Each structure stands twice: as structure tokens, then as C-alpha cells.
Structure 1
Amino acid sequence: MLWARLWPEEPRRILRKKPSPRRQLPRQSRRLSKSPLPRPRKSSPKRRKKPSPRRQLPRQSRRLSKSLLPRPRKSSPRRRKKPARKRKNNRSQTENNRMRTSALTYKAIRGILSGIFLIAYLAFAVTGFAQSPFRARVSGEAITALDGVGTGFSAGALLRISNPHLLEFSLKGTLTDYTLDNDSSLLYLSPELTCRYSYEIAHNIKRSSVFFGEAGLGYSIPLDDENDGGIFPVVHAGYSFKPLPIIDIEFFISARPMYPYGSSDDLASVGGGVGLVFQFGFKDQDGDWVPDWRDTCSNTLRGAIVDEYGCALDSDGDGVFDGIDKCQNTPWGCIVDEHGCPIDSDGDGVCDGLDLCPDTPSHIKVDSTGCPLDSDGDGVPDYRDNCPGTPLGCIVDEHGCPMDSDGDGVCDGLDECPQTPTGFVVDARGCPLVAPVERDEIRDAYDASMNIRANAMQRLDNIAERLRAYPYRVVEIGVYTDSEGSVIYNINRSTRVAEKVREVLVGRGVDVEQVTIKGYGESDPVAPNSSAEGMRQNRRIVFKYLKDR
């Protein structure tokens, strides 16, 4: 009868059974009946013996074949078994009901699963194993009545029509078995159509968690012929966890009436259970657990971690995707190998791409840029620096030692007077302690006969020393005269005096190219030429700094 209900188009003979005595009784007294009919004993068909080899030969040659064919082994006569005694059926009506309920339950579950696999196969055939919105669930649920009159168990299978949003429709088949306190049972086969709304609380590419609520209607089909069927409402709520994109594990609670709508009894029940959901038709060409219809990066390397759109992630930006990258958190700019690990050609601990000195010898200490350490900052690494304490700013040679071109004890680079002659005492800047010639004037330096006076010669000694101390400074020797004589005469006279002064300075060690001469004649007097004293003051020598050579 169960196959006739579940499969009305099943191409097999359905044998009609005679109505049991319980069916002939009134509905009220069916539960009190405890005398089920005994099942008829099935008789096994008799086995036909195989003919002996002699029987397969013609009749004329049977006698001749006695010596040729082996004789068949004589079998001992079988002993007839005594007929088994009929055992008395000492089982109670409750046990008979439970055995029959178990058999019906097995058949109902088999029918539900067969229907689900048939629907799934048709869905695959229609969609061509492409994007499929179907999900199947197998669940179990423990049920109890609110008034405490019984408990039960429900097992079901579900097909869910999914969509990209959080609203889904489900078609479910449930087999429910209630056991009441009076040892009677209620067995229903219930198809249900529900609508489900999910609220996502955590989302990941491969894992997500949602709370869901579900409501709908079902139709109960009684399998024990003692109760009424009909429409009933059902409500579910629960939590779903997705360990894999194609598998959901659901924990839920439900509420439904124990008797369908329109029944004479009115009793509600609640229950809780767990279900396992599997998605059919999950097509993922690149194996990144993102379905092809949502995968915007369809050729992702296998093993790479992807985002929700199927594109590979690269946290450290080294060009090797997460999941394949064996060296996470690689510094930005490093050159890496195929496994995402930095390459260090010179083995100094600084990866290529950030190493400013890629040819550092092995076992040499380097700084953060990959260059050998240079403690004094002179540009020569410590492993080649023979003078490790060089002051900062000094020009050094290839061995890291400071260079001192003028030998004054102040290294080149810090020497502000790099051409100081030998023998002069210098300060910390490398310059002699004598002051350079800027502008010096010697009045009454020579007489009317153009002879340099003694006081002027002493001044020239000092100026010669200062000029030698700064050999790179060029100084002009300018000579002025009084107004005695003509202008041209005075210019020629002042030029001859300037030549004499230059000869004196060169004789005291001054470079001839360090001084220039010029005769200014009677121009720019510093005193009136009306008196002898004023004329002496106008006969003067002026030293003026021009430039560095």
C-alpha cells in the first residue's frame, strides 16, 4: 500500500490484500485490537536434479559406456525433517505495531530518498551540470508534545531552490513517528513547502554562518490507517554553519501540530534536530571554491587563496598568491622565487631588490640597505678600513685613511685652507694663525728719490709672511705719489716704486704670480699736497685682495 501511495505510476503489480479484521472494526476500537492475522508461509520451489552423464547418451550406447564413464556417487537417502512445531505468537499488540511501523518507516524513507535522487538527476539533466540552484538536506529531529502526552522522532529529506539572495524556497518530505503515552503511535508522511529567510552573521570564501527562519505548510499522509490526514502549518528557526561551500550543517528547532488541521484532536508539538545539506551542480573550473557563475578570475592557480569573487589574494604584494606563498610578509620590493621567498644572491641577509650592494662578499656585516658597515662614514667599509676612526667629512684614500694635501694636520675635506705652506701653525680649520691680506696701506713708504723707507720695509716683511701663508690669494700692489711733477711723470714714478715693492716681496718668498702691480700717480690724495707733510702722506703703498687663484 505504501508503494501505491508513493509511486502511483510504478509499473509493477500491486497485490490487493484482504482487509484485516482491524479495518472491519469501528475507528474507535482499532487501537484495542491485538489479533493481527498470521502471515502465510511461503513454500520454496523444488529443485530439479541434473541428469547423470549416462542419461545424456543415446539408449543403445548406455551399456557400452559403463566402463568408460565414471559411476555417479550414490547419495545417501535424505532424512525427512519433522515438521516444525508452530510457535505460539506471544507478542503483544504493541510489539506487532512497532514491528509493522519499523517496516513502514524503512519503506517510506527509501521512497523519499529515491524521489530526491530522481529529482536531482532530472535537475542535472536539465541544467547540463552547470549552475544548479538545488540543495538537498537529510535531517533528523526529536519531537515532544507540549502537553506531555508523547514523544516522537522525525526524519526527512529536503530539496532547496536557492538564489543569489537570502530568500529560498524548500520542498521537504518528512516521516514522523509519534509514540503516545497509551502505547499507540501516529505515523505520518508529510510533504512540506516552506519559505526561508537567512541573516548572515559571518562570511568567508569557504565558510559562512547564518541564522535562518522558515515557515510554510505541509500535508500529512497517515500510514497507519488510524488517523486523519490534512494540511498543517510548520515553523523552523536555527543556525547554519558552512564548513565547505557545498556543505551546510544546520541546527534547528521546529513547531508543528501533532494532528493536522481539521482533526478532532488539537495537540501541538515542538522539536529540535540537526541536518546536513549538500549542494548539487557546484561547478568550479579552477578549483578555488567559488562557483563559475560568480568567479571573475576563472583561471586562478590551484591552491591560491581567493576573495569572494574568485580573484587571488597577495597580502605582501610580491607577485605570488597567498596559499602558494611559503614566505608570508615579504618586504615590499624584494625579488622572490616561485614559492614567494626572497632571493639573496650575495647571502648578506638583505633580499635582492632592496640590496643596494648586491655583490657584498660573504660573512661581511651589512646595514639595512645590504651594504657593508661603515662605522666612521668615510665611504670605505669596515672590513677594508685601516683607519676606522676617521672624522666625518674627511677625504680618505682607498684604505680609509684621511688625506692631508698640505700636511698641516687637518684632513682634506675639513681643511678650509688646503694650500697652507709647510711650517705655518694652523687652527682647527686648517688655516694659518696669521691673518690674510685684505687691505693694508703703508704711508710715507718712499722718499722723493723713490727709495723705500726703513719703516716700510718692516711692514713689507709682515705682508710677505701673510702672503706666503695664503699662496692661493692674489693681491694688488698699488702705489700713489704726491703732486710734484706732471701726471705722466707721477704715474711712471708710482709704477717704478710698485716694481721695487714686488721685487722685495718675491725676494722674501712670495710667488710672483700672487701679486700684481699698478701705478696710480697723484690720484686720490689722502692729504693736501700744499705742505711737505701732506706730500709725504700721499706717497703711499696700498695692498688690496683681488681673488683666489
Structure 2
Amino acid sequence: MKHLNKLFVAVLMAMGLNAHAQDSNNPWAISFGVNAVDTRTSSGSGSGFFEQHFSQPFAVKDNWNILPSLSYIGVNRYVGSGFSVGLQGSVNKIEKYVIFDPLNATADSRGNYVDNPGDLMYYGIDATIKYSFQELIKSKVIDPSLSVGGGYTFFGDSSFGTFNPGLGLTFWFTDAIGLELASRYKWSFGDREEANGVTPDAPSHFQHTAGLVFKFGGKDTDGDGIYDKDDACPEVAGLKQFNGCPDTDGDGIVDGSDACPDVFGLAALNGCPDTDGDGIADKDDACPDVAGLASLKGCPDADGDGIADKDDKCPTEAGPRENGGCPFLDADKDGVLDKDDDCPTVAGPASNRGCPEITTEALEELKVQARAVYFNSGKATFKTGDKETPARLDAIKEILKNYPNAKFSIEGHTDSDGSAKVNQKLSEDRAAAVKNALIERGVNAENLESKGFGSTQPVASNKTAAGKAQNRRTEIKHIGSKF
């Protein structure tokens, strides 16, 4: 492992340089594996350049020097348009050195003369410019390439520069992991002193490599598997088909363009649902569960009067808006249309909003009937055994129901017997008793009020029994309209 020291120095140098990767998403790559050095081309044997260099390209057993351990490592960076640059460090041990010296070497099975130079270490540091054809051939697996570069080689006690044309082929298992095969012809240049007049110290040679390559460096902030450079929504995890943008409701419309991103909807409505199918998005539909008209914000108009059913007092009968969607009617035939008639079922003059005006005769009858309602002495209960009181209350009810918009005050009075405080309370309770009895008979409670006056408003003398009897009374007075 001591021979790897120079290799790791080369790697540290490479980490500080721009180098090559396979694409712009993951601009960096690191590769490592084994290398083989073939010095056969340095022998000068053969009748021509191609015979010398390519007649035995795969004579692994006879000509290749392979160190059975990790023997190269490289760092690379993509620079765009299929091009990448990189730096590689390698180490090897030369045990097969092909020479053209039949006197001092043994011929191999192919007729070359192979010398074993002993513990001859090999170190190489090489920079490369590479062009990948992967984008051109539109393949995700096969990645052929051509390269050119230069480097410096330590060959035993010698060192020299090289010019390195090459080619490679990478098989990608995933987007970031691949098997890389490459071969370079390292043509040496510089002074070539000969050892014993035969072997050059700066031999040109082939170097073959095989190893794994790992791409990295791509930024994916939201972790959705789409790199930020290609992600239209880099801060939010999304889908590949939407360039990295999310579609929360799964309706095929990205959230950024979806007016209702949390609810599955229709493309025609910018991603919003239309429950009733009337072509109006639920969010804009005042009646989302019932099909309606766009002019009425999605609400129906059964009678076609231009008023939505929900706002139409007569949804099945056409009528003007000023009449609440109902046709103009005058049910009680009093000349006041129902829409303006506070008492549409009882005839009355327009001056009283269509309600009947209370007559003097009615007021007199109320007075007679109310004064004839008797109570138990000192109490607010109707006189025990008096069979006329219920009939009088019924008569009062019949009068009051003819005036549905009129308000009446029920007043309670007492004679002078007892304290003023007791009489006040008693008068209030008796007025309330009459009021409650009328409400129980169907009179609208909003038309009635009650109050007591104690003994303060006598209608006869309290010095006689007859006068006191007249003062113990209830009266009903008209006090106006409730409208």
C-alpha cells in the first residue's frame, strides 16, 4: 500500500480542480478501480505503426501489467455540451516489459521479447478533456466517449510527459452509478536515453482502466428527485411530469395554477370542483348543490322571473323584484296590494296600511266586556263560580282579532281598601291575568301590554260599596299600531 501515497497526492490535487462528470444535474463524479499498463508498443517490433500498436491489443497474459488492488482514482467535472474535464492518478508495478532484445529476453507466445525489470514502479498523473456521446445518441445506459489530454509519468527512476488520446465506454446502472471502461495511448515525449543502448527510459504505452464511477453534486432542495436546475418549484416537493411542482389534490393541475389546490377539480374551472355541474365553480356558486344560472351566481330560477329561488317569496310564480318575486295580489280586496298590505287577509284602508281602523263601537264593546270581568276579593284570580267571565274573554278576543296591526293596553284598577302598595301590585297582577287569558285564546302577544294603576283612577266613589265595586275593574284601550 506504500505505493499508493503518490496516488492519493494526485487525488487531493484532483479534488481542487474542475473535472468531468457525465451530466449537468450531477456535475461532479469520482471513479476508481484497476488499471493495466501495456508496454508492448515501446519495443519497436513489427513492420509498421498499426502492427506494432494494434496486432495484439488483448494479449493480457503476455503483455499487461495489472496491480491486483485499487490502482487508480479520478475526479471529474461536467462543463457543458457533452464536455467534461478531469484529473486521474494511477499506480502500477511493471513486471512485463516488452523489448526488442532477443539476446537478453525471453520470447512470449506471440513472438515478442519480454523482460522482467524487477521492482519497477509506475505512477501517473493525467489531465483529460472528454466528450460524451450519450446525449447525442439519447441513451440512458450506454455512454461512449472520446478523450484527449496529457500527463506526467514516473517510470522507475525515469519521469516524462505524455500526450494521451483515448476512448471509453460507461454503462450506467442508475442515474448516478456506472461501470467505466477506458483506454488511453500515452505517447511519451522528451529525452529518450537508452539503457545498454537498447531500452528507452520514456516508453510510449497503453493504459487501460476498469472501475466504478459515481456522480454527485446535484442540488435537490425539496428532495423530490428533481434537481433544482430543472425544478420549477425547487422549494416544494413535486412531480416529475410537472417539472417538480406539486399537485396536492391530484387533479392534473399544478398547485401554482390551481385556483382550488386542495380540492380535486376540473381543468376548465382552473382546478375547482363543480358539484352541481352547472359550469360554475363551487367557490363562486351561491347554490353549489343545485344547478343554476351564471347570471344568478349558480342559483336556479324556477319561475323565470329573474329572482333566484332562494330569494324568491313565490319561487313557482313569476313576480317583480319589488314584490319579492310574487305576483301583485290583493287577497282581501281592499285596494291595497298584498305587498303593501300589513293585513293582507283583513280589509282596511290604505291610510292604515291595509288594516281595518278600530271603530268607536268596538272600543265601547271592549270597555263593557273588560269591566265585566270579575276577580276574587284581594286576588288576581277570576271570580270563582262566575260562568260569564270566559264568555266575556272570548268576546274580547273576537274583537281584537279583527285588528291585527292594532296595539291595546290592558289596565288594572282597585278600590281604596288596603295600602297603596298592595293595591298597585294587585292591579298589575289582574291586568296581567287578563292579558295571559287572551294570549291563550290566540291573540298575538305583540299586540298586548298590561299595566296597573292601583286605586289612583276611580270611576265611582269609594265611600259606598257600589262605588268600590265599580272601581275594581279592568279596561282595554287602543294605543296605536304595532307597525
**What is the TM-score when the length of structure 1 is the normalising length?**
0.33
Task: Give the structure, 1 or 2, with the largest relative contact order (CA under 8 Å, sep 6 or more).
Answer: 2
Structure possessing the higher radius of gyration over alpha carbons: 1
